[in-house]
């Protein structure tokens, strides 16, 4: 009986946390979450993980590098904003190949709940696509990437 109550309490707590989480749930110890400091952080998920689809970011214009695209593709950074125009939740970096350090430095400068749309424009520029997901405005930034192994498949 006690075991059942503990299980029920744990499930209720989990569902309450997820229900309060918003667009991108914050899960303690998530291996995809990068936290460079207090109130700072972002998710790095692979383009084939499916997590970003579950978070409502299916509109992200991710393009896998292939030999048909001469090794070029597009990674995407998705940044959700609340009604006040502040970064509402952790940005999501959807990558096809590992990002360069200057991309992660830009993401490290975002302060959750404080950084405004104007400040994001200064850091990242004009968004390639503006959309909405889960009641939040989401800006999508495409990042051109190149994988020479997909251009010349005989190299690997």
CA–CA separation, 47 vs 25, rounded Å?
Answer: 18
Please check whether residue 114 lies inside any domain of the structure: yes
Q: Which one-letter DSSP state was computed for residue 50?
A: S
Domain membership of residue 20 (yes or no) is no
- Mean pLDDT along residues 24-48: 88
Q: How many separate domains does the chain show?
A: 1
Question: Tell me, what's the pLDDT at 142?
Answer: 95
Distances (CA, A) of 17 to 27, 28, 56, 136: 9, 11, 18, 18
Q: What's the pLDDT tens digit per position in 49-98?
A: 889 999 889 889 999 998 888 889 999 999 999 999 999 999 999 999 88
Q: Which of helix, strand or coil describes residue 137?
A: strand
Percent share of the chain, pLDDT over 90: 53
Query: Would you say the pTM of this structure is higher than 0.85?
Result: no
Residue 12 pLDDT greater than 50, yes or no: no
Which domain range does residue 42 map to?
Answer: 30-155
Cα distance between residue 136 and residue 6, in whole Å:
34
């Amino acid at each position: 009986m006690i075991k059942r109550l503990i299980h029920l309490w744990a499930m209720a707590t989990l569902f309450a946390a997820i229900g309060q989480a918003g667009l991108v749930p914050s899960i303690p110890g998530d291996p995809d979450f990068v936290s460079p400091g207090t109130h700072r952080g972002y998710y790095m998920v692979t383009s084939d993980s499916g997590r970003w689809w579950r978070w409502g970011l299916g509109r992200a214009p991710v393009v896998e590098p292939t030999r048909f695209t001469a090794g070029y593709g597009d990674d995407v950074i998705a940044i959700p904003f609340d009604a006040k125009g502040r970064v509402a939740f952790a940005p999501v970096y959807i990558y096809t190949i590992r990002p360069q350090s200057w991309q992660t430095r830009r993401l490290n400068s975002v302060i959750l709940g404080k950084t405004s749309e104007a400040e994001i424009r200064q850091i990242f520029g004009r968004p390639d696509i503006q959309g909405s997901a889960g009641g939040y405005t989401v800006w999508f930034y495409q990042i051109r990437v190149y994988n020479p192994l997909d251009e010349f498949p005989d190299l690997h």
